[in-house]
Amino acid sequence: MAKDKAFIPNKKVENKTTDIPPVLNDIKTLSFKEYQKYPEIITLPEPFKYVDQVITKAYIKEVTGAEEEEYNTPQNKENFGRLVTSICSACITQFNEDITPQRFQQKPIEWREIIRSMPMSDRDYLLFCIYILSEGTEIELKDVTCPNPSCRSRGFIVDIKEQGVRYLEKPFEPFEITIPKGYKFKDKIYNKVKIGTSTGIMQERVFPLFAQSPSKADTLTMASCIDTIYNDKNDAQKFNMDVARSLTKADRTVIMEAISESTVGIELIVDMQCKCGRQFPTLVTVTDFFVRW
């Protein structure tokens, strides 16, 4: 999330005429203020399985100096994925009715592992909710500049309570898509993949790559959401970074669009209205609140 454009939820889900995967039909949208009834009890936009239960709810607390000391480390500042893991580990107090960090007192690592294996959508959503708990729904965007050349106003405030939250009521079901060209291997063509969901473990791996090159981050995002590539005859090959890299631009675009269409959580693109009259879209982030740069 944040500075990573790869994870901007894509709004243009409609206009698909044929074979809409069920998961896309299952995604619902409500405004943030309708969706988020209580500031401290968070309904997760993507329920996920943990051992024998489906986790749908998280309880959060505000950031205090103690949490800040815990997560504001040089290593976390270099890797936003790890930063999200640390903030969530410190500020989530419970999942559902009985899963608490105290339960893992002997093994604090396991609490962190649940946070790492959570869907990326939930982690990003929780980060916003932890921010909102102390600052409210108005977010200051210090670095945003009006694109009107005769204005160039800098610094805007957006209120995200009218922003949409895309959510699922049950865990994400991987769905199949067909790609236009396909992967060629030993005279065979493989042109179908199943899109799954990405987790915090992947977010931790993707972020450092994104700083190097967005294409590299796309390659890893694809490899993290897809297990195998196959064809109508059910021949299958393992889908890994080499396969992702060997696909054509057209195939990669189709896959990245499917991943972005199936991403849930708060819509991060906001239509800004400058006092000069210019309207422009901008990306909302809350990173600066958490990090002392």
Write out the DSSP string of the chain: -TT-GGGPPPS------S---HHHHH-EEEEHHHH---SSEEEEEEEEEETTEEEEEEEE----HHHHHHH--HHHHH-HHHHHHHHHHHHEEEETTTB-GGGGTT-HHHHHHHHHHSBHHHHHHHHHHHHHHHH-SEEEEEEEE-S-TTT--EEEEEEGGGSEEEE-SSPPPPEEEEEEEEEEETTEEEEEEEE---BHHHHHHHHHHHHH-HHHHHHHHHHHH--EEE-TT--EEE--HHHHHHS-HHHHHHHHHHHHHT--EE--EEEEE-TTS-EEEEE---HHHH---
Between 146 and 206, CB nearer to Zn ion: 146
**Smallest gap from residue 276 Cβ to Zn ion (A):** 3
CB atoms under 10 Å from CB of 191, counted, come to 17
**Smallest gap from residue 268 Cβ to Zn ion (A):** 21
Binds Zn ion by CB under 5 A, chosen from 8, 24, 133, 151: 151
146 lies in the site for Zn ion, by CB under 5 A: yes
Q: Interaction with Zn ion in 153-192: which residues (CB under 5 A)? A: 153
**Smallest gap from residue 157 Cβ to Zn ion (A):** 14
**Smallest gap from residue 198 Cβ to Zn ion (A):** 36
Q: Quick one: which segment of 85-93, 103-111, 148-156, 193-201 binds Zn ion (CB under 5 A)? A: 148-156
Q: Quick one: which segment of 22-30, 164-172, 256-264, 277-285 binds Zn ion (CB under 5 A)? A: 277-285
What is the per-residue burial (b if ≥16 Cβ within 10 Å, else e) of 198-227? bbbbbbbbbbbbbeeeeebbbbbbbbbbbe
Binds Zn ion by CB under 5 A, chosen from 56, 72, 148, 240: 148
Binds Zn ion by CB under 5 A, chosen from 33, 57, 192, 278: 278
Between 154 and 238, CB nearer to Zn ion: 154
Q: Quick one: which segment of 38-46, 52-60, 146-154, 187-195 binds Zn ion (CB under 5 A)? A: 146-154
Q: Which two tokens mark 230?
A: 């196959």
**Smallest gap from residue 288 Cβ to Zn ion (A):** 22
Number of residues that bind Zn ion (CB under 5 A): 7
Between 1 and 146, CB nearer to Zn ion: 146
Between 236 and 276, CB nearer to Zn ion: 276
Binds Zn ion by CB under 5 A, chosen from 236, 242, 276, 279: 276
How far is the C-alpha of 120 from the C-alpha of 148, rounded, in Å? 35
Between 134 and 273, CB nearer to Zn ion: 273
Q: Quick one: which segment of 36-44, 109-117, 132-140, 269-277 binds Zn ion (CB under 5 A)? A: 269-277
Binds Zn ion by CB under 5 A, chosen from 274, 280, 283, 288: 274
**Smallest gap from residue 141 Cβ to Zn ion (A):** 14
How far is the C-alpha of 175 from the C-alpha of 225, rounded, in Å? 11
Chain residues binding Zn ion by CB under 5 A are 146, 148, 151, 153, 274, 276, 278
